Amino acid sequence: MLRLLLVEDNELNRDMLGRRLRHRGYEVVTAVNGREGIEMARGEKPDVILMDLSLPEMDGWQAARILKNDPDTDGIPIVALTAHAMNGDRERALAAGCDEYATKPVDMPLLMDILARLNAQPGLKSLAPQPIDSV
Please say if the pLDDT value at position 131 is more than 60: no
Q: Is the pLDDT of residue 15 over 70?
A: yes
What's the pLDDT score for residue 128? 47
Domain boundaries, the chain: 3-120
Superfamily of domain 3-120: Response regulator (3.40.50.2300)
Angstrom CA distances, 78 to 47, 49, 95, 131, stand at 9, 5, 12, 24
Answer whether 0.75 is exceeded by the pTM. Answer: yes
Tens digits of residue pLDDT in 77-121? 999 998 877 888 889 899 999 999 999 999 999 999 997 787 666
